[in-house]
Amino acid sequence: MTHRSTAVSGASWPAPAKLNLMLRVVGRRENGYHELQTVFQFVDRCDQLWLDVRDDGVVRRLGALSGVPEDQDLTVRAARALQQATGCRLGADIRCDKVLPMGGGLGGGSSDAATTLVALNHLWGTGLSEDALSEIALPLGADVPVFVRGRAAWAEGVGERLEPVDLPQPWYLVLVPACSVSTRDVFCHPELTRDSSCIKLADFLSGDAVNDCLPVVRREYPPVAEAIEWLDRWGGGRLTGTGACVFARFEERDRALDACRAAPEALRAFVARGLNRSPLLDRLDQEIVSPSLIAAS
């Protein structure tokens, strides 16, 4: 089998994590989906994707992902969705170096899917707009569009109605408890609050940063409760999405690193910078302006 590559050898595409800085469940639709209000911000912790363009139309994942069959992998599904939407006859070999934990609320799978869409839209020359890519992204997952658009955002609906926001970009200490939280189980839990009042962005900016999923997750997942309790010693811990990851905000990197070094050995921990612009957009800009510079870097 032969195939050609238009990807730049050795150049990867970032798939950044996100944090939900607030999450309110304000209603439930007839189809069972929940109406939300949330705030997304990226951090500079990323999976890395390598994409090798094929001329035979085959989309193939290189390497295994524990517990995820190839046909269910969001990167493969995203590539095939782009093929179907555009009629593109090219394919791709996709390799993902996973850094972000699965089931952690950091959006790793959704971010991988978005990076696949954005990168292949460029590499295949399909030329879709951001809006068109976001339409393809939504069926893959409610938060895939925010990664496609690549800007910190106030979100409503199921998370697909996005309004870009300019937020402070502090440092975050993120803890990864030794468990994986099922988003489905959290949203099906009988004790989940589903009737929170709607707030405005100004309310969030004034300090209203409740996550309605936290009480359920703390009760059902003791490792998350322990991580939150530990972060409370450093000024207060918060849950991202439905978890399991929790985080605390720091104005100074050194202070965040001090807390990271003090974290219990049973917890994975890392420090990351909050970002209002996704590294994926910066990577795309570099590729468009000068692919040869990336190959040389």
Distance of CA 246 to the CA centre of its chain: 14
Quickly list DSSP for 94-133: EEEE--SPTTSSS-HHHHHHHHHHHHHHHHTT----HHHH
Q: What pLDDT shows up at residue 32?
A: 75
Q: What pLDDT shows up at residue 261?
A: 97
Domain of 228 in residue numbering reads as: 1-297
Residues in the chain where the model's pLDDT stays below 50? 1-2, 6-9, 292-297
Domains in the chain, number: 1
Report the binding-site residues for ATP.
Answer: 101-111
Q: What pLDDT shows up at residue 279?
A: 98
Report the binding-site residues.
Answer: 101-111
**Tens of pLDDT along 185-242?**
999 999 999 999 999 999 999 999 999 999 999 999 999 999 999 999 998 999 999 9
What are the C-alpha distances in Å from 171 to residues 155, 175, 245? Answer: 22, 13, 15
3-class SS of residue 277: strand
State in Å, rounded, how far the first CA of the chain is from the last one.
30
Active-site residues, by number, are 18, 143
Query: CATH number for the domain including 35?
Result: 3.30.230.10
What are 97's strand-pairing partners? 48
Q: What is the pTM of this model?
A: 0.93
**Tens of pLDDT along 80-104?**
999 999 999 999 999 999 999 998 9
Q: What pLDDT shows up at residue 51?
A: 97
